[in-house]
Amino acid sequence: MSFQAPKGTFDWLPPRSEQVLAVREALVAPVRRAGYGYIETPVFEDTQLFARGVGESTDIVSKEMYTFPDKAGRSLTLRPEGTASVVRAVLQHNLHNGQLPVKLWYSGSQFRYERAQKGRYRHFWQVGAEALGSEDPAIDAELIVLAAQGFASLGLREVRLLVNSLGDQTCRPAYRAALQEFLRGLDLDEDTRARIEINPLRVLDDKRPEVQAQLGGAPLVVDHLCAACKSYHEEVRALLTAAGVAFEDDPRLVRGLDYYTRTTFEFLHGGLGSQSAIGGGGRYDGLSEMLGGPPLPSVGWALGVDRTFLAMEAEGLIAEAAPGRVQVYGVALGDDARRRMFLLVHELRQAGVSADMAFGGKGLKGAMKGADRSGARFALILGERDLAAKAVQLKDLTTAEQTEVPLAQVVDVLKGKVQ
Ligand code: HAM
């Protein structure tokens, strides 16, 4: 019997797995430079955290959660996103009683039972950043700039940034009512009509052409913003412009999670087909209260690492030729030589030189093939005769030049050559 990875999941294997690690690191480097601290939360949480935080009416909560009872009968859910967990952790540990904003970043697996297709997986990786406890357009702008920097540092050129404001509790209710009134007059199926009553903004996001065709005259949230939301949004936009970050206003940008207020944004990439969002986020001023905490106006984002990698592939930014696994590869012939090589490889690694060796008693030819495949610049060849002479053959695999080096000196010689 042989097993396959579950539907909607896949394995990252070398050398791509190394490349995706580098992508993760590059995406979070800007937030680390901006003073965000690392947070790690559990992969599963109380189901109610997401039900209340992300919102019962969202697709995520209504049909995509991996929910299961534990052995004591508690309902747990594999995290579908990171924001609710971060807010929970901040409240639980009273971080919000210290200096504000609390700035945190994370990196980890997320789980959503989605219809699997290219760029849409059931297990995927996000990096995220959240700034909790400040209502200041500069922090919204800072986060957007830092995400844009992360994508730019990877060399991505075809990234579009869409921004919008969803208003707040002052202006949103009137907008919602106006939108509902407009939508009720359209020719829509029963499910969509039900959505008008629960979450009318999501109807704007309906991708079906027959729905889109009717939405031309829909009221737009930008035309309904109260004075405070309007000036807040103008300031975010002005700061983005000052920082030289290009963006497009998208008055129809709606996000798939319920907690957003005011600023929302999404990064799109043209090379991904229908799953074009490589990152998104926004302000969530009411989430803390929804989770039983005090008012804690906050903003954040999450970037999809898998999709960012696909975007890089689409732009030809992932090198085909894998970088060498190690710098030095040992080839030993005979049992005594193999024991000595085992030690030598250990000494090289301790000296900071990456090294591997042929295992499994291969002959010279097979072992040299291993050396080539490892991508190493140098091979060390040790036969019984070399061992007796306390020497080793050092072969430069790019020039095929071979020299004899005393065993006692070879670590220093190689240290000098690989640096
Ligand atoms: P989100 O828009 O649901 O936001 O996800 C953020 C990013 O994760 C997406 O733009 C996409 O790149 C990636 N992503 C989402 N679902 C999948 C999937 N099924 N397969 C592959 N990639 C996926 C959030 O999760 C919010 N927590 C962001 C946030 C943080 N808002 C405020 N703070």
Judge whether residue 322 has pLDDT over 80. Answer: no
Residues 39 and 130: their CA atoms lie apart, in Å, by 10
Q: Cα(123) to centroid of ligand 1, in Å?
A: 12
pLDDT for residue 284: 97
Residue with tokens 């490349």: 19
Q: Is 79 in the pocket of ligand 1 (CB under 6 A)?
A: no
Residue 199 within a domain: no
285 lines ligand 1 (CB under 6 A): no
Of 374, 408, 367, 406, whose CA–CA distance to 389 is shortest? 406
Counting ligand 1 atoms within 8 A of each CB, the residue from 9, 81, 266 with the most, and so the one to mutate, is 81
Rounded to the nearest angstrom, the distance between the alpha carbon of 165 and the centre of ligand 1 is: 18
Q: What is the pLDDT of residue 123?
A: 98
Instruction: Indicate whether 218 belongs to any domain.
Output: no
Indicate if 291 and 376 belong to the same structural domain.
no
Is the pLDDT confidence value at 108 over 80?
A: yes
Tell whether ligand 1 has an atom less than 6 A from the beta carbon of residue 286: no
Do residues 141 and 283 both lie within one domain?
yes
203 domain-assigned: no
406 in a structural domain:
yes
Is 210 part of any domain?
no
Atom 1 in ligand 1: residue holding the nearest Cα: 280
- Per-residue pLDDT tens over the stretch 220-229: 999 999 999 9
Task: Report the Cα–Cα distance between both ends of the chain, in Å, rounded.
Answer: 47
Cα of 402 to ligand 1 centre, how many Å? Answer: 53
Ligand 1 pocket, residue 128 CB under 6 Å: yes
Same domain, 52 and 99: yes
d(CA 134, CA 93): 18
Q: Is any ligand 1 atom within 6 A of the Cβ of residue 101?
A: no
Residue 205 lies in a domain: no
Q: Is the CB of 283 under 6 A from ligand 1?
A: no
Residue where one domain finishes, among candidates 258, 282, 314: 314
Tell me, in angstroms, the distance from the centre of ligand 1 to residue 140's CA: 17
CATH number at residue 292: 3.30.930.10
Q: Which residue of 87, 126, 146, 284 sits with most ligand 1 atoms within 8 Å of its CB, as the best mutation to test the pocket?
A: 126
**One domain for residues 272 and 375:** no
Same domain, residue pair 287 and 378 = no
User: How remote is the C-alpha of 31 from its chain's centroid?
Assistant: 13
Residue span of the structural domain in which 111 resides: 16-171+225-314
Residue 77 pLDDT level (bands cut at 50, 70, 90): very high
CA of 53 to the centre of ligand 1 (A): 15
Q: Domain boundary residue among 314, 347, 382?
A: 314
Q: Give the per-residue pLDDT at 58.
A: 87
Residues 300 and 335 in one domain: no
Spatial separation of the C-alpha atoms in residues 151 and 149, rounded to whole Å: 5
Q: How confident is the model at residue 150 (pLDDT cuts 50, 70, 90)?
A: very high
Same domain, 66 and 148: yes
Integer Cα distance of 366 and 77 in angstroms: 49
- Domain assignment present for 375: yes
Q: What is the pLDDT of residue 255?
A: 85
Domain assignment of residue 217, yes or no: no
Of 290, 314, 338, the position where a domain reaches its end is 314
Instruction: Identify whether residues 291 and 155 lie together within a single domain.
Output: yes
The CATH number covering residue 414 comes to: 3.40.50.800
The pLDDT > 90 percentage for the chain reads 90
Q: How many domains does the chain have?
A: 2
Distance 386 CA to ligand 1 centre (A): 58
